Amino acid sequence: MSRTETAQAAVDDGGGEEEFDPVGTLALIAVYFAILVLAWVYVYYIEFLGRDLVIVG
């Protein structure tokens, strides 16, 4: 291996850094969105529709 090949190999080596994983990122966003939707459904259907309308003040 010549000196330029060694230098090129060092540049090509990512140094062990992790690559960006769009599938994992999308999965995490989907989980957070599902939690938001479930919280909205709980608040809307159980808290608001499960009780009579109360006007405070």
Q: Residue 14 corresponds to which tokens in the numbers above?
A: 């990512």
- Which domain, by its residues, includes 41? 21-57
Assign 54 to helix, strand or coil: coil
Q: Residue 53 corresponds to which tokens in the numbers above?
A: 């309308």
Reading phi first (left if > 0) and then psi (alpha if -120 to 50, else beta), residue 46 is in: alpha
In a domain, 6, yes or no: no
Q: What is the tally of structural domains in the chain?
A: 1
Confidence (pLDDT) at 27: 93
Q: Which residue has the tokens 């769009």?
A: 22
The string of pLDDT tens digits covering residues 1-57 is 566 665 555 555 555 677 776 888 899 999 999 999 999 988 888 777 766 656 665
Confidence (pLDDT) at 22: 85
Confidence (pLDDT) at 45: 80
Using the CB atoms, write b or e for 35-55: b if 16+ within 10 Å. Answer: eeeeeeeeeeeeeeeeeeeee
